[in-house]
Every structure is written in C-alpha cells, then in structure tokens.
Structure 1
Amino acid sequence: MSGALTSRRLRALWSTLFWAALGVGSYVFGVQSALGQEAEASVLEAARFTTDPPAPLNLVSTPSVGVALLAIGILAWIVHGIVRAVGIVVISALAILASQLLKLQLLDRPGLFELDAANTFPSGHMTVFTVLVAAIIWAVPTKIRAIVALVGAAILSAVGWQLLAYGWHRPSDVLGAIALGIVAFAIATLIRPSTSRGTPLLTRTVSIGMAMLSWTLIAAAIVLAVVSVAASNQGLLLNAGQFGVIGTSILGSRSLFRLST
C-alpha cells in the first residue's frame, strides 16, 4: 500500500509540474508577449462570433454549475463516501473561484498589440468544464472511469473548439483553464492520494490511445501554425489553435483519469 501511495504522489507531482508549466507558459506567451498577442488576435479575427452558441457551451450558468456539482457530490457520496464527495465539491469550487480571481483581479493583459483589451485568461467556461469532468471521473465507480474519461475528453474538445470557433476566447485562455483545473486536482491528489476499489476497465488501451491521439493532434497544430504564418492565412491559424486545444483537452482528460486511479 505504501508503494502504491508513493507512486500516486509521484504521478500527482509530475502532473502538477507539467500542467503548471503549460499554464504559466500559455500566459507568458499568449498574454505577455507581443508576438503571442498578435497571433491570438489573428485567431479571433478568423472566428465567427456569436452570442448564442449551441450546447455544450450554452449550458454554463451559475445555477447549472451548482446543480451539476451537487449531483456529482451526491453520486460520489453514494459510491465512495462523504469524504470523497466533500473533497470533489470543494476542489471544484475553489478552482472555479481561482479562475475568476485570476482573470478579473490578479492577472493583467498589457497593451502590447491591442490597446485596452480586457484580460480573458484563463477561460471561466473551460475551467468549469474541466473541473466537472475531473469531478465526475473521481465520483463514478472505478471500473467505468476510463469510459467516463473518454466521454470527458470529447466534451472538453467540443467546448475548446467552440470557444475558439465562436470567438469567445483566445487559445491561451483555453489552455490556461485546462491547466488550472488539472493542477487543482493534482495538488489535492498530492496532498491526499485517492484510494480506489477495483481496477478500471480498458485502462491501458484507453491511456495509450488517448496519449497517441493527443500528441498527434498537438503535432498537427504546430505544423498548421507554421504553415499559416508562412502563408499569412488566419483561417489556418484558427484551425491550428483548435487542433492544439482539442489535443490538449484529450491529454488533460487522460491526466485526470490517471490521477484518479
């Protein structure tokens, strides 16, 4: 048991460092550099802005998030007990609160490329979906966590794609939000590693498959970004951002799954 706990803590430490570096790097490049601001402005210009997006993006509201967390908490209580349930709800709420504090109070966006552009880092919507996916992975019975992680990856990918396609957020905002949600659960795991009854089905298959798909999409995003810059094509740059966000979403869901087992 001691060896298993040590392994979980090491995994949680690696996840914390990796995703924290990604979040900080996204902010430094996307928000604090003129090159990053210019690139992300091109992505926004290529987007088709709408105030009435379809689901799942349009499902976020304060009441809906509260109801979702309550339902997940009850599920976790039934399956794993009150301690897990309270932990899931508290961690999720703190991550969402941290997202708003960072965006509205603590972080700034200097006018290096656009004057008077409001800070939108990290995305509140993406933070909500990330922590809800994390919460439900922790809440469900162990055996079905791999399947839930796959569904979670699909949901995060759809939301990330929508946030860029409809011009609600810049790529760095989305990446920073994914990183924030995962770091919150990784730190919690580092402090108190979760114990699981049973073994998830298809663990190795799902883990390897998600890793391969995520890194393939991230590599494709890098190639598209280079081509888009060479061709001065804003549409391709938007596609690059979407590929990168989808790849990161899948990688993030995989990390959450591995942290929970």
Structure 2
Amino acid sequence: MIVPLVYAVAVLTPAGQRIEDAALGGVRESDLFSSDTALNVISVPVILLLVVVIAAVGLARRRLAVGLGAGVVVLASAATSTLVKRIAERPEIAQSTTPNSFPSGHATIALAALFAVLMVTPRRFRPVVAIVGAAYAVFVANQTVVYGWHRVSDIIGACAIALFWVGAVRAFGPRVDRGARGDRDGHRGPRRLVTWVLLVATGVTFLVGVAALVYGVSSGAHDHGAILVAGRMASSASVLAVVTIVWIADGMHHAARTDPEALPGR
C-alpha cells in the first residue's frame, strides 16, 4: 500500500511534483560529495557477488535455507524496484524536466543488502552490522538526493519495497533464529543501545527536516537550499525509520542462550 500511495501523491499530482522538484532546484555543484564511490559500489556484479557470499555464509553456518532466503530479499527487492520504475511512469504535469526516478534502485539495494546480511549474521554480532549498514544506507539515500538523482518519494518507495520483502521472507521463509544451535544474543546491552541510537537518530533527523522545510517555505520566495536540506533529512529519516522497524522486529525473535548440557552428543 505504501508504494502506490506515495506514487499517487508525490508523482501523479502537480503539487507533489512541484514540492519535490523544489528540492532538486537547490542542488548545486558545491554541495556534491567529493566521491560517488558509495553509489558506484551498487552494481549488478556486486549484487550477484553479495548474494553468493550471503548463501555461502548461510551454508558455513549450516543454514543454507536462511542464506537462500536472504538472497531472495536482495534479488526480489532489486527486481521489484526495476519493475516498478518501468511501469510507474512520471507524467509531466508540473513543468519538470527531470526524468522518472521512482523508486530509487540504489536505496532499495542498500537497505535490502543490510536486511539480508542481518539474517545470516549471528545475533551477537548484529548490533555492529546494523549500525554500519544503517549508516551506509543513509549515506546512499542522502547522496542520491544531493546529486539530484532522486526525490524523497523515490527513497520512501525504496524503503517500502525492501521492508516488504524482508517481512515476507521472515514471515514465510526459513526460520532465521534457532536457539538449539547456539545462536546466542550475547549481552543485551548492545542491542538496546542500537535501538535507542536508531530511535533518537530517526527523531532528530525528522525534526531537522521539518525545521528546514518550514524555513524554506516561509521565507517569502522559496529557499531551494533549505528545501533540499529538508528533502535530504526526510530521505534519511525514512531509511532510519525502516531500519528501526526491522531491528525492533528482529529483537522479538529472541534466541535464548544455549545450555551446553542440552547439546546433542553430551
């Protein structure tokens, strides 16, 4: 429901297009990051290599089914993003010269990759993976907006697609967490810390975006620079919100510490 709703409001209405294009109007050469390496990393060969590595990790942990399920998250998310971009055309109803870009393939892959890696990572190591992966996904989303490649709706659409597929695989696919094989949580402190970091980061980013938007539209003539900042913050907040949802849901699948006496062969 999220993807068609965002598409209908932001892409199919003149007001939605004008608001998002106002942010693109603030893009300046001086604002660009010095390197686009983070974006160039996301390519078809890298995606395929990632899927192979994820499956291999699953096999090494004697959870090939989980590794294959994680691979499905990446491949299905990428395929869905490509399909939607081809069928969800952008009508030119607001004098925009920027081509269709809904949803963002880069943001979709960055998020799907994070969720897939979390699935095959032992629970005690997931806090580190979550923070590093979330930072990378936010950077990718932010960079695509700064470069003028994507609008906020593109990022929100990407978030919805990645969230859908990780939810579907975790709901109907192989069981990710199995206490019987010692998939221990480790200390609960790091998991709680990551939860609070994600919640605070999402809230602060959202508030900064709202403040920038209010400033941008209340200063007489629209301040495109401020609106661009609002777009960047909205994109970042969308990514952080989805990562937070997945992280909290992952914490609900608690795997108790393994009793050594209960292991087979003892």
Q: Work out whether the TM-score is over 0.5.
A: yes
Matched with 1:199 is 185
Within the candidate set 183, 203, 213, 1:225 is matched to 213
| Corresponding residue SS for 2:154 | helix
TM-aligned CA distance change 1:250 to 1:239, over 3 Å: same
1:108-257 alignment, distance < 5 Å:
108-114=89-95, 118-192=99-173, 194-196=176-178, 197-199=183-185, 201=187, 202-231=190-219, 232-257=222-247
TM-aligned CA distance change 1:94 to 1:235, over 3 Å: same
Q: CA deviation at 1:117?
A: 5.1
**RCO (CA 8 Å, sep 6+): is it higher in 1 or 2?**
1
TM-aligned CA distance change 1:74 to 1:165, over 3 Å: same
> Given residue 205 of structure 2, which amino acid in structure 1 is its aligned partner?
L
| Corresponding residue SS for 1:46 | coil
TM-aligned CA distance change 1:53 to 1:27, over 3 Å: farther
Residues 152, 253 of structure 1: 8 Å contact kept: no
Give the superposed CA RMSD.
2.2
TM-aligned CA distance change 1:115 to 1:47, over 3 Å: closer
Gap runs ≥5 in structure 1 = 1-19
More helix by share: 1
% identity of equivalent residues: 23
TM-score (norm 2): 0.83
**C-alpha separation between the residues in 1 aligned to 2:37 and 2:82?**
22
**C-alpha separation between the residues in 2 aligned to 1:30 and 1:214?**
22
Q: CA deviation at 1:37?
A: 0.4
Q: CA deviation at 1:240?
A: 0.5
Within the candidate set 70, 85, 92, 2:74 is matched to 92
Which of structures 1 and 2 has the bigger CA Rg? 2
TM-score (norm 1): 0.84
Residues 79, 141 of structure 1: 8 Å contact kept: no
**C-alpha separation between the residues in 2 aligned to 1:116 and 1:42?**
12
Residues 109, 117 of structure 1: 8 Å contact kept: no
